[in-house]
Chain A
Amino acid sequence: MLFLVVDDSMVARTMVNNVLEPMGHEVIQAGNGQEALKILDKLAREVGVVLLDWNMPIMNGFEALQAIRSNRYCDHISILMVSTESEAEYIDRAMKAGANGYLAKPFTKDELIDKINSIVQSSSE
């Protein structure tokens, strides 16, 4: 499956990348919400899951989440919010805006794998 990993930290993106690739997934990366939307313009059909950080410059993850959810070409895409902002109201807001899951930073490799597997499973149902 093709994953779009959106995080302003190169290290955070690479960390996720290096977990997903050995699982047999493909990964493309974006540094902020705006870049992510641009990529989805071209690749909406191919992308299966978007991982979105919350705090990013230019366009944050929540704004990107709203933009993706208002685009009918992206209806099939599962969105996993990955953020240090993990207070209940943040999670609430994201889920109400159409996120499919929420993973709080920091997470272990196993926690990420579990979350990915459950998202992939439910999106292929």
Chain B
Amino acid sequence: MDTILLIDCSDDVTTSMAGLLKGNHQVVNVSFEDRDIPGKNKMIILQAHDDLDAISKKISKIRYECKFRDIPIVVVKQSEDQIPLEYYLSSGATEVLPLDAPPGACRQILQGYLIPSRKPLESETEYLTPFIENTINVLKATAQMDAVFREVYFSNDFRIFGDISGIIGLSGVSEGTVAVTLYWDLARKIIANMMHVADNQLNAEYIHDGVGELINVISGSTKKRFKGTPFHFDLSLPTVVVGSGHQLGHPDNSSIAVLIFDVAQMAFVLQVCLKPKQKQS
């Protein structure tokens, strides 16, 4: 049975959540300190409290522990809490529900997030496969590391959760954005390997630069695989971004593929949003 983990929730909230989530779910309420590994859970619901800084840190911590998996983190906040949703969303929350929200809406939103993820369409596989293969290839060739593609999920919100990201804009026959996001430890390890130096010889400036180069090489080497197809694109200069929660636009009518890779017992993601200008016939 799927577990829905409630963290720091009051008795009232626990009761109403259990009521809304009737069905085949086991609802468990724990304190933040006693939380289980989030990977086992279908959804995590966290009740916000007055200390904004602490709640933001808690959300980030949970998001980190989820290792980029598609686990919705829902924040339940007080009705009178006027803090913009963006504050919670940028810390890593998936959705924010005030206590006075209509229960019907809450139930539907929670149900929505509990529906299993879809698999990629054939047309999506066609352009995602080259990205997956080249990402693995680039890490092997330049950093001598074996990355394994774990899974993909789709989102219509382009947001990054991680310590550092390399992002590149695509234009031409197809348009979009590609971003690689890593946590600091893995970024350091990959860049050190790329440069043929030891981890501790790197300063952060090299890591910034290296993550930019990494996304540049991944998208550049993938680009040529699309020569002559509706997915071909030109590259702009890579942009490097630190910190998490940044929303990279909210492109209309597009879905963003979040590709999760494992390497050296750590995880990183490649987010791909690619839209051919001309519809395929």
With A11-B194, A84-B220 already in contact, the answer to whether A106 and B141 are too (CB < 8 A) is yes
With A84-B220, A86-B224, A106-B221 given, is the CB distance from A9 to B237 under 8 Å?
A: no
B227 (CB) vs chain A CBs: closest residue? A87
Contact between B237 and A55, CB atoms less than 8 A apart: yes
B interface: dominant SS? helix
**8 A Cβ contacts from A107-125 to B:** 107-109, 111
Return the CB mask of B198-231 against A: 1 if under 8 Å, else 0: 0000000110011011001101110110010000
Query: Do residues B206 and A105 form an inter-chain contact, with CB atoms below 8 A?
Result: no
Assembled-state Cα–Cα distance A108/B141 (Å): 5
Interface residues on A, range: 20 to 34
- The answer to whether the Cβ of A1 comes within 8 Å of any Cβ in the partner chain is no
Contacting residues, chain A, for B196 (C-beta < 8 A): 15, 18-19, 109
Of the candidates A14, A87, A106, A107, the one whose C-beta lies within 8 Å of that of B195 is: A14
Within 8 Å by CB of A85, from B137, B191, B209, B220, lies: B220
**Shortest distance in angstroms between B137's beta carbon and chain A's nearest beta carbon?**
7
Q: A residues within 8 A CB of B227?
A: 87
Chain A 73-100, CB-CB to B under 8 Å as 1, else 0, gives 0000000000111110000000000000
Chosen A-B contacts, 7 in total, with CB atoms closer than 8 Å, are: A9-B212, A11-B195, A11-B213, A14-B206, A15-B196, A86-B220, A109-B196
Pairs of residues from A and B, 3 with the lowest C-beta to C-beta distance, nearest first: A84-B220, A11-B210, A9-B213
